[in-house]
Chains A and B, each alone.
Chain A
Amino acid sequence: MSNASDAAATAAEPILETRGLSVDFGGLKALDGLDLAVYPGEIVSIIGPNGAGKTTLFNAITATAPATEGDILFEGESLIGLDPNRVTSRGIARTFQNVRLFANMTVLENVMVSQHCRTRQSVVGALLWTKAFRREEQEIRQRAEEVLSYFGNRLVGYRFDQPAFTLSYANRRRLEIARAMATQPKLILLDEPVAGMNPTESAELTGLIGRLRDEWGYAIVVIEHDMEVVREVSDRVVVLDHGTKIAEGDYADVSMDPQVIEAYLGRDATAAS
């Protein structure tokens, strides 16, 4: 595993790179000079104790929490200063820690609306009911159905027209991933995708994350607390604590790293003084 990712590292430019990325919240440094690289076709897990700055990292990449210092490069181009929607249209999609679907829109609509930045038709097309408009609507719908059918029979058929809030918790998580896929990204950021799921479901989703990379070719960054999942899916694990990277490598290395153990289990009281 580690060899594979090393090979990737030398073969390709990173798809996403942060350089000295810092995010301040009124004096509190949520991220502090973080350097991170993600390579195409790679699954990177970000782990770390609560408040380590994991979600802030996602927010900084997607421009919801503007970086105060440093740079974020996506495919070699800086994302600094872009609006969140521009970041998404560059090819980064995300899910949210506390599932945020458009609860009153139907399952299908949720996935259709997230193709907004990939489609062009505007008011005129809609009003004149042009051929191009109809074709695009057709495509949007097809793509939506295609993405949804990726999750087996869970989100298809009569579910297409059900409002999202009637879905079960696990299905909401799935729909959120589907919504992210529909933006046609190159990189997907998954924020705790299995949080709140039971072991069966989380095992299923773990397999799915791997397939996402294999079949759709996304690079994936996962924030996850479930070590089982982290071990299963990651090519590489990055450990954050207090906004800085304290360890990086494959799962086995990282889980043995004394600094990581310390961050999770706390420092020995005597050693601290």
Chain B
Amino acid sequence: MTLKRGAPTRGTPRGQPRVQHGGHRTRIDWFLAILRVTVLIVVGVGLLAFIAQEINPDNPFARWANPDATGLTAAQIRGLVVSGVAQGSMYGLIALGYSMVYGVLGFINFAHGEVFMVGAMTGMITSNKLADAGLWESNFIGSLVFIVVVSIIVSTLTAVVMERVAYRPLRGAPRLIPLITSIGVSFFLQNASVVLLGPASKSYPDVPDWVKAKHTFLQVEGGKILVVVVAAASMAALWYYVDRTKTGKAMRAVAEDAEIAALMGINVNRTIVKVFAVGGAMAGMAGILWGILFRSVIHTTGFLPGIKAFSAAVVGGIGHLGGAMAGGLSIGVAESVGPLVILEPLGVSGVSQLRDAVAFSMLIIVLLVRPAGLFGERLPGEDRA
């Protein structure tokens, strides 16, 4: 019998990437394929045009793409990358919370961005009180440690209360229900901040010169170095906690299979609370870093970083801690560098307005190209398959 319809013959290697639902391409598959190729071409041409304009802005290719091409100086590029890394490491810290909760409970805690906002707000209040007392100037590092501790406590409490009040009663509900609830929690926290603290944006007290000024070392602002160092240290501490301690082992067990973990004598509820607490602490830490770096907070501060951090968690592979950090860095760098390196050389005007659009596009592209993220997903048992 002959094989029809161009089906692969017996033994043909079929290892090449398959379309999600088999090799038979539907119209949607074609559309997606075209979309992917278009995105690749845009990114590729943009990069080439950027390289061309870096070599010489008068180069015909660069002129063709963007008649007003000026090119960036090395210092500008370095500046962009460094801001991207600094911001990205904050995204990474927030992403840890998303990633851990998703890994254990299998739902997106939409309100996690608001925990970050609560951390930043707490830092703002505490630091301003310290500044009023004169301690902020006289002992900056000590004050910093103090506001970090306070803000971590408050944001941890926020996360834990949130879990207790809004999510625990919904354990086992259809999976979109807790997601919708978390949207409500997020909305509530944002607007609670408006009614309690007022709708205006509020600022942190002035920081010492060494935080603001560019350092001789690498020509980078001290604040950004501080952010990266603190983020790395928190990440290391978290890794130790999850990978080496008994509690961490319990968390991983619950993430693997909550029911079996319970049978093995692990207190699942307590473990889940700890997951929220740890995620909240990381978000609180990120909130302080945000405040130090940008010095201004408002009730919507948590929204965009929250979404981007979630994107970071997905990009890195949800449920994967190292992946969250890597995803955060890539989102941070992409949104900081992407507009100027890919869109500007293509003649798009006002690219800085499209920062957020770039970050969202990156999420969409990653989900289209590699839905499991860079490092692969780790999901609760029932969500696999």
Contacts and interface: CB of A to CB of B under 8 A. Distances in A.
Interface in B1-27: 1, 3-5, 7-11, 14, 18, 21-24, 26
A66 B5 CA distance: 17
A83 B14 contact: no
Interface string A52-95: 00000000000100101111010011101111101000000000
Interface residues of B, number: 16
Contacts of A81: 7, 22-24
Contact of B10 (A71, A76, A77, A86): A71
Given A81-B23, A82-B22, A70 B3 contact: no
A80 B26 contact: no
B10 A70 contact: yes
B150 to A, nearest CB: 47
Contacts of B4: 76-78
A79 to B, nearest CB: 8
Contacts of A20: 10-11
A19 interface: yes
A70 B4 CA distance: 14
A68 B10 CA distance: 10
A76 B1 contact: yes
B302 to A, nearest CB: 37
A83 B18 contact: no
A78 B3 contact: yes
A78 B9 CA distance: 10
Contact of B11 (A69, A73, A84): A69
B11 A66 contact: no
A10 B3 CA distance: 21
A19 B18 CA distance: 21
Given A20-B11, A86-B24, A66 B18 contact: yes
A69 B13 CA distance: 8
A63 B24 CA distance: 11
A83 B26 contact: yes
A263 B4 CA distance: 37
Given A20-B10, A20-B11, A80-B8, A71 B3 contact: yes
Interface string B31-49: 0000000000000000000
B14 A78 contact: no
B21 A83 contact: yes
Contacts of B22: 63, 66, 80-83
B14 A82 contact: no
Contacts of A63: 21-22
A114 B311 CA distance: 37
Contacts of A77: 4-5
B372 to A, nearest CB: 13
A256 B10 CA distance: 33
A70 B8 CA distance: 8
Contact of B7 (A68, A78, A84, A86): A78
Contacts of B21: 63, 83-84
Nearest to B24: A81
A20, A66, A81: residue with the most chain B Cβ atoms closer than 10 Å: A81
Interface in A115-164: none
A68 B16 CA distance: 11
Contacts of A19: 10
Nearest to A21: B10
A81 B6 CA distance: 10
B13 to A, nearest CB: 9
A70 B3 CA distance: 12
Contact of B24 (A69, A71, A82): A82
A68 B8 CA distance: 11
Given A81-B24, A83-B21, A69 B14 contact: yes
Contacts of B23: 80-81
Contacts of A80: 7-8, 22-23
Contacts of B26: 83
A71 B3 CA distance: 9
Nearest to A73: B1
A78, A80, A86: residue with the most chain B Cβ atoms closer than 10 Å: A80
A172 to B, nearest CB: 20
Nearest to A79: B7
Contact of B5 (A68, A69, A70, A78): A78
B4, B21, B26: residue with the most chain A Cβ atoms closer than 10 Å: B21
A118 B2 CA distance: 29
A175 B76 CA distance: 68
Nearest to B2: A76
Interface string A202-239: 00000000000000000000000000000000000000
B27 to A, nearest CB: 12
Contacts of B3: 71, 78
Contacts of A71: 3, 7-10
A72 to B, nearest CB: 9
Contact of B14 (A68, A76, A84, A86): A68
Contacts of B8: 71, 80
A128 to B, nearest CB: 25
Contacts of B14: 68-69
A178 B3 CA distance: 33
Nearest to A68: B14
Interface of B: 1, 3-5, 7-11, 14, 18, 21-24, 26
6 contacts: A69-B11, A69-B14, A73-B1, A77-B5, A80-B7, A83-B26
Task: Name the 4 nearest CB pairs between A and B, nearest first.
Answer: A81-B23, A78-B7, A81-B24, A81-B22
Given A69-B14, A80-B22, A80-B23, 10 more contacts: A19-B10, A20-B10, A20-B11, A68-B14, A70-B11, A71-B9, A76-B4, A81-B24, A83-B21, A83-B26
